[in-house]
Amino acid sequence: MELNNEDDGRATPRTVLGRRLRRLREAAGMSQRALADKVGYPHTYLSRVERGEQLPSEALAEDLDTHFATDGLFVELLSMAQDASIPDYGRVVVDGESKAARIQVFGSSLIPGLLQTEDYAHALFRESLPGESEERINERVATRMRRKRVFEKEQVPYYWAIMDEAALRRPIGSIAIMRAQLRYVLQAIESPRISVQVLPFAQGAHPMLGGSLSLHTLRNGATLAYVESFASGEPVESPERILELTQRFDVARSKSLPKQESLDLIGSYLREYENDDDS
């Protein structure tokens, strides 16, 4: 079976996807070039997917399912592979997002993940993961973008983000990327279920300095917490600790600008980036 150990190591969703693609292609009597011509992608791309060196894009996975009539198999394997690529400490927050009725996040120096554009996320991963291949960077970005599907659910969760002013001031990637990112945040806030506040520099010290926090309130009223710092994270289950973190979040929120003033500040930074260039 495909989930048994094979060759150099344990099978993963990534390698299972590649093996299933190869077997279906060979069973159809097709070369990689022939399949590439049929689905409209470079054969070198398909070759990397078969070898497990690169995950397919969502579009390719859908096209493979259509071509081989596999009823969503490749899309499902892609989703599993993306989940498997998330560090253990990050899977808790991703799983919590999918179940939450309300999501509250604080980001100390970055735009929160669910509000990031693809280009912003790519530039962030490129800087924070030196030496990572472009294929793996793209996979990480695709996984982050997939998390936004929580906003497409039938019951969309309430989302409340507090971001430090540093997230607006510190450019990630190019000036053009920051312009597009801040426009995206302003557009996202138009949703009645998305609220964003900015904690300004003028407030000085606050209880969330140096870290990021996610609070997920489930439909039964229970709250899950997740604390993240540089390259590590910690799910929190203790009721006492969750109460402490909720209090920290509430204090940070009390120090943040009201909604309209937050929008005005984001808009002022956007105008600065619009008046700047990449030179």
**Average pLDDT, stretch 147-172?**
93
**Average pLDDT, stretch 86-101?**
70
Can you give the residue ranges of every domain in the chain?
Answer: 13-83, 92-275
Cβ(49)–Cβ(24) below 8 Å: no
Check whether domain 13-83 has CATH 1.10.10.10, yes or no: no
- Residue 151 dihedral angles phi and psi, to the nearest 5°: -80, -5
Q: What topology does CATH give the domain 92-275?
A: Endonuclease; Chain A (3.30.870)
**In the predicted structure, residue 1 carries a pLDDT above the cut 60:** no
Which range, 57-61, 175-179, 230-234, has the best average confidence (pLDDT)?
Answer: 175-179
Q: Quick check: helix, strand or coil at residue 158?
A: strand
Q: What is the biggest distance separating any 2 CA atoms in the chain, rounded to whole angstroms?
A: 67
- Give the model's pLDDT for residue 4: 35
How far apart CA 82 and CA 141 sit, in angstroms, is: 10
Edge-to-edge order in the sheet of strand 158-164? 194-199, 158-164, 102-107, 212-217, 223-229, 232-236
Percent of the chain with pLDDT over 90: 53
Neighbour count for residue 190 (Cβ, 10 Å): 7
CA proximity to 27, closest of 72, 68, 64, 56: 68
How far apart CA 230 and CA 15 sit, in angstroms, is: 29
**Average pLDDT, stretch 115-121?**
96
CA proximity to 197, closest of 119, 136, 251, 134: 251
**In the predicted structure, residue 247 carries a pLDDT above the cut 60:** yes
Kindly compute the dihedral angle of the four CA atoms of residues 80, 84, 89, 92, in this order, to the nearest 10 degrees: 10
- Give the model's pLDDT for residue 186: 97
- Give the model's pLDDT for residue 229: 66
pLDDT class of 6 with cuts at 50, 70, 90: very low
- In this structure, the chain runs to a length of 279
Tokens of 265: 């500040």
**Average pLDDT, stretch 160-169?**
95
- Give the model's pLDDT for residue 92: 61
pLDDT class of 97 with cuts at 50, 70, 90: confident
When the pLDDT of each residue in the chain is averaged and rounded to a whole number, the result is 86
- Give the model's pLDDT for residue 9: 55
CA 13 to chain centre: 19
How far apart CA 102 and CA 215 sit, in angstroms, is: 8
- Give the model's pLDDT for residue 109: 86
E strands of 29-68, at which residues? none
The pLDDT tens digits for 34-85 are 999 999 999 898 998 898 888 888 889 899 999 999 988 888 888 777 776 6
pLDDT class of 87 with cuts at 50, 70, 90: low
- Residue 182 dihedral angles phi and psi, to the nearest 5°: -70, -35
Residue environment code for 39-76, b if the CB has 16+ CB neighbours within 10 A, otherwise e: bebeeebbbbbbebebbbbbebbbbbbebbebeebbbe
CA proximity to 51, closest of 22, 75, 72: 22
Which residue type, as a one-letter code, is found at position 117? T
Task: Give, rounded to a whole angstrom, the gap between the first and last alpha carbons of the chain.
Answer: 56
- Give the model's pLDDT for residue 8: 47
**In the predicted structure, residue 207 carries a pLDDT above the cut 80:** no
pLDDT class of 12 with cuts at 50, 70, 90: confident
**Average pLDDT, stretch 27-35?**
92
